[in-house]
Amino acid sequence: MNAMHITASVFINDDERCLHQDLEIWLEKLAPHEPVARYRHNTGEDNADAHLKRSIMGREAVVAVTNGMLDFGPWEQIFYGEFDGRRKKRVLVKIIGE
């Protein structure tokens, strides 16, 4: 399963609102949006930081399936991380197997 956009992520973690806030704050520290002019990509666009954030969080998740159920560990859930808030976003889910 993968984000179909290069400024977004599909990742697996805890469904805990405060943790997601921690993630946002932390990503903003590692790859700040401002100052926009620090990034060479930002000519006409201002979302270079979103590309970097997506690089940390990853593009895709691969999850095993057994008897029609996702093989999740405790608390594992799949999230879509949106880092620039542009366009309509889509996720691709592909299932293969016997």
With H, G, I as helix, E, B as strand and everything else as coil, classify residue 14.
coil
By the rule CB under 8 A, 78 interacts with a copy of itself: no
Among 28, 36, 46, 76, which residue sits at the site for a copy of itself (rule: CB under 8 A)?
76
Pick out residues in 41-70 that bind a copy of itself (CB under 8 A).
41, 43, 48, 51-52, 54-64, 66
Choice between 66 and 68, CB closer to a copy of itself: 66
Q: At what angle do helices 17-30 and 48-57 cross, to 10 degrees?
A: 120
By the rule CB under 8 A, 74 interacts with a copy of itself: yes
Q: Which phi-psi region, left, alpha or beta, contains residue 57 (left: φ > 0; alpha: ψ -120 to 50)? A: alpha
With H, G, I as helix, E, B as strand and everything else as coil, classify residue 85.
coil
By the rule CB under 8 A, 79 interacts with a copy of itself: no
